[in-house]
Structure 1
């Protein structure tokens, strides 16, 4: 069975619309879309945008649970040198059924990452 990236690639190919036009309309690069073709699960928002561009309804191609799943990848951040940057592990969370809650969760994660980045910059370059 094909994974979501392959289904997306096949739908784009069958649409007859060029990859160049699609990436231009989406505001992404060609390597980005080719990476998406290799992914087993895709973000629903991205698939919806592509579907709108090529005139394809992916609702029959993906199950309902796959449509609502946002594939968050967990990485364990560990310092490579002897720095004092704390190690953080992001946990995999079940997607919230409410879009507002999803956005708030993403905002919280984003702010957390920005704060960690700022701490790292201060440790590496010091205060201005």
Structure 2
């Protein structure tokens, strides 16, 4: 009998101490996307892996056929690899630089418009 991966994920999420909003934020998706994942019987193994990191849950019990050794993947990267930030911190940093780029781009566009309008 095939396991419904979405239902299993939903059960694990409901048993966790994290809200769906917090999980969605750390996953970098909308809350509605998390709820949609609950309905997918053949949820992608890559998504299950991402949820395992966010939830700090070892899905090898539920899906032994997907992951032979998930424990080493769930844990944060070894500091000797040079990665010292959590996934959430990296997302915050990404958003900071994205906002900074957008602000710079808007200022550049204003300068172009001002320069072009002064020539005519």
Q: TM-score, normalising length from structure 2? A: 0.50
2:6 is aligned with 1:5: yes
Cα distance in 2 for residues equivalent to 1:45 and 1:27: 14
Structure 2 SS opposite 1:59: coil
Cα distance in 1 for residues equivalent to 2:18 and 2:49: 16
Root-mean-square deviation over aligned CA pairs: 1.7
Aligned length: 66
Pairwise CA distance, 1:15: 1.0
Pairwise CA distance, 1:46: 0.8
Which aligned pairs between 1:54-73 and structure 2 lie closer than 5 A? 54-64=55-65, 67=66
Cα distance in 1 for residues equivalent to 2:42 and 2:63: 10
Structure 2 SS opposite 1:9: helix
Pairwise CA distance, 1:40: 0.4
Pairwise CA distance, 1:63: 4.1
Q: Which residue of 1 aligns with 2:85?
A: none
Cα distance in 1 for residues equivalent to 2:20 and 2:57: 15
Question: Larger relative contact order (C-alpha < 8 A, sep ≥ 6)?
Answer: 2
Which aligned pairs between 1:16-31 and structure 2 lie closer than 5 A? 16-31=17-32
More helix by share: 2
Cα distance in 2 for residues equivalent to 1:59 and 1:12: 15
Cα distance in 2 for residues equivalent to 1:48 and 1:60: 13
Q: TM-score, normalising length from structure 1? A: 0.47
Cα distance in 2 for residues equivalent to 1:51 and 1:12: 10
Q: Which residue of 2 aligns with 1:50?
A: 51
Cα distance in 2 for residues equivalent to 1:5 and 1:63: 16
**Can you give the 5+ residue segments of structure 1 that lack an aligned partner in the other structure?**
69-128
Q: Which residue of 2 aligns with 1:37?
A: 38
Pairwise CA distance, 1:59: 1.2
